[in-house]
Structure 1
Amino acid sequence: MPLSTARRSGLVEQVIDQLRHAVAGQEWRIGERIPKETVLVEKFGVGRNTVREAVRALAHAGILEVRQGDGTYVRATSEVSGALRRLCGEELREVLEVRRALEVEAARLAASRRTPADVAEMRGLLARRDERDSAGDVEAFARIDTEFHLAVVRCARNNTLIELYRGLLEAVTASVAHTRHVPVDVCDHGVLLDHIAAGDPDLAARTAGEFLDRIIDGLGSADSA
């Protein structure tokens, strides 16, 4: 169905959504080439530049892969699986180290600046995360776990810190999914939240740091196994 809106940015977002939905629905399977640009232009009723921007965005997200002179292929079914395909080895370790730097300070500030509404939101996220974990839904587990960490960062009430962390969300989600095999206690999240709720900056920061330290150390053990 042709798309219609006066704003080009809106058109690009609509085409991105349509393409993402087609991939998720397996209209085009992983490894398959999607229709040519001219076909997509006619399918969506938009200009070539709009289609190109949408394809470029999904290629950046790891869902599509543009092969010069050959076409565009489906690489993954979602941003999470796309990021997982790119994230490995030393890059994963670097992401975890950056997460530690940001999340430790975020936890420290959050313990001083959280509100009762913040705490309630985070408890709800942990409950949803645990449900998805019990159901074996790795992608939903990773996504909600990332939402929890972002909620902690938002409690810091530091816009620069929040924007820095938002820029890492795809990599954070991928790192959560990628390290579920590492033997750590997921209850640490509840302990972290308890320290934040109690207004204890030092214990909140320590808990956040020790949790990520165990993941990083466990990653090293897994690599050498």
Structure 2
Amino acid sequence: MTQLRRVPLADQAAEVLLDRIRAGEWTLGSKLPGETTLAPQLGVGRSTVREAIRQLAGRGILDSRQGSGVYVTALDVPEDWDHVLRRADIVTVIEARTAIEVEAAGLAAERRTPADLRAIRRALQTRTAPGQSVEEHVDADMVLHRTIVVAAHNEVLTELFDGFVPRVRRAMVDMLRIRPVADEDADHDAHAAIVAAILDRRPEDATRASRAHLAALKAGFA
């Protein structure tokens, strides 16, 4: 159990929660324990936990959903990146994502391990689970794309992708609330094509499928 002794306690609690998220205790899209559980773990009161959660929500790390709970929406947000991305147009961000994810897809097709494939398959299946809210679907989509980037085994690409997640997530949620996916089967097939190419170790096909998917996503925001 982590004990906090110096003020301001809310700042310390926020950093401890962020460290636990970075360490993988809670994955992208997962729900945090309630205040009554977190407060004794951190050695602070529930009001301090609430303030810590508000801080991390403001940084794009957590999302507090009324009547549902608090969810992890990003694994890390370097402050400089956060300021840049908040100012950036979503199309600009998708163009940068393309530079990262297309390369990552090709590398993943070359470097993926059996563990990577299990994670990618599981993420693809979760993405199409029935009964998801818009937020849950977007979180599942981000998890799938992140597992592909991780499978490239390039720490810089992973860190860059993580920096984009909060900005892209907010835009995707807003867009899907206004304009749901017109053809869910085609959308799934686009993601499945990337996964299949990675599975079969076809780097060129993986990069082509990734580029096509992100181009379609960009067109949706144009």
Taking structure 2 as the reference length, the TM-score comes to 0.63
Give 2:127's aligned residue. 129
Q: Which amino acid aligns with 2:208?
A: R
- Alignment CA distance shift 1:51-1:136 (3 Å): closer
3-state SS, counterpart of residue 199 of structure 1? coil
C-alpha deviation, 1:168, in angstroms = 1.7
Q: Which range is displaced more, 199-208 or 118-127? A: 118-127
114-123 or 196-205: bigger deviation:
114-123
Q: Alpha-carbon deviations, 1:171-218, whole Å to 9, x = none?
A: 233344344435462221111100011111111001101111112123
Give the aligned partner of residue 104 of structure 2.
Answer: 106
Report the aligned-residue RMSD.
3.9
| 1:145 and 2:141 aligned | yes
Unpaired stretches in structure 1, ≥5 consecutive residues: 23-41, 65-76, 81-86, 221-225
- Unaligned segments of structure 2, at least 5 residues: 21-31, 36-43, 64-69, 74-84
C-alpha distance in structure 1 between counterparts of 2:17 and 2:202, whole Å: 46
- State which drifts further: 178-187 or 143-152: 178-187
The 5 Å alignment of 1:198-213 reads 198-213=200-215
Cα–Cα, structure 1 residues 53 and 43, in superposed 2: closer, same or farther, change >3 Å?
Answer: closer
Q: Is the 8 A contact 1:142 1:174 kept in 2?
A: no
Q: Does 1:169 align with 2:162?
A: no
How many percent identity over aligned positions?
26
Contact persistence 1:104–1:208 (CA under 8 A): yes
Distance 1:4 1:119 in 2: 35
CA distance in structure 1 between the aligned counterparts of 2:97 and 2:204, rounded to whole angstroms: 18
CA contact (8 A) 1:191 1:207 kept: yes
Greater mean alpha carbon deviation, residues 52-61 or residues 140-149: 52-61
Quote the offset at 1:120 in angstroms: 1.9
Q: What is residue 58 of structure 1 aligned with on the other side?
A: 57
Rg bigger for which structure? 1
SS at match of 2:89: helix
Contact 1:146 1:176 in 2 (8 A): no
Structure 1 residue 58, shift from structure 2 partner: 3.1
> Is contact 1:96-1:175 (8 Å) kept?
no
| CA distance in structure 1 between the aligned counterparts of 2:169 and 2:159, rounded to whole angstroms | 16
Contact 2:61 2:166 in 1 (8 A): no
**TM-score normalised by the chain length of structure 1:** 0.63
**Structure 1 match to 2:190:** 188
Deviations 1:44-77 (A, max 9, x none): 586xxx987765433333979xxxxxxxxxxxx7
1:95 is aligned, of 62, 69, 93, to 93
Do 1:153 and 1:162's aligned partners in 2 also have CA atoms closer than 8 Å?
Answer: yes
For 2:58, give the aligned amino acid: A
Contact 1:182 1:219 in 2 (8 A): no
Q: Give the direction of change, closer, same or farther, for the CA distance of 1:107–1:79 in structure 2 (3 Å limit).
A: same
Cα separation, partners in 2 of 1:43 and 1:177, compared to 1, 3 Å: same
Q: Distance in 2 between matches of 1:124 and 1:79?
A: 19
Which deviations, in whole Å up to 9, do the C-alpha atoms of 1:65-117 show, x marking residues without a partner? xxxxxxxxxxxx7676xxxxxx9997221221121111101101101001122
> How far apart in 2 are the matches of 1:218 and 1:14?
38
Change (3 A) 1:4 1:92: same
